Every structure is written in C-alpha cells, then in structure tokens.
Amino acid sequence: MVDIPYSAVDRIIRKGGAERVSKSAIEVLQKELEDYGITIARIGTEIASHVGKKTIDGDTISLAIRKKKLGSG
C-alpha cells in the first residue's frame, strides 16, 4: 500500500526540473520515498525506545536522518 499521493510525487519531480514525467517515474520515486521514510522512522523509533520515550518528535527524526546519512543507521 502506498501512502504518498501520485500528484504529490509528480509535483516533486517537476520541482526537480522535469518537463515531462512518465507514470513509471512517479511509481519508482513514490516507492523510494516511502521506503526511505519508513527507514528513518524505524531508526527514530529505536532511538526513542533506547531513551525511554514513547513519542517520536522532530529532534528524534532529525537525529535518525543524520544517522542514516552517516550510514550508521
């Protein structure tokens, strides 16, 4: 099941400079963004759990993004 609407992904691709966007481009980027988001959320959930927090907040997500980019997540 996908969560990010087709139209949102289409707009994002056009913001990147594309004039014409195929359906397959939208489908591939949609899946990538969802997978990436779930990975970040999973890292964030582990961090929160580690420090005994039940709520994921922006600071935790920011830390999860940094960990992911460092390849340590």
Non-local (6+) Cβ contacts of 12 within 8 A are 29, 33
Q: If binding is defined by CB under 8 A, does position 13 make contact with a copy of itself?
A: yes
Sites for a copy of itself among residues 28-47 (CB under 8 A): 28-29, 32-34, 36-45
Kindly tell me which residue out of 17, 51, 70, 72 binds a copy of itself, with binding defined by CB under 8 A: 17
Asked if residues 64 and 41 have their Cβ atoms less than 8 Å apart, the reply is yes
- Tell me whether residue 40 or residue 72 sits nearer to a copy of itself (CB atom): 40
Among 6, 18, 51, 52, binds a copy of itself (CB under 8 A): 18
Find where tokens 């400079």 sit. 17
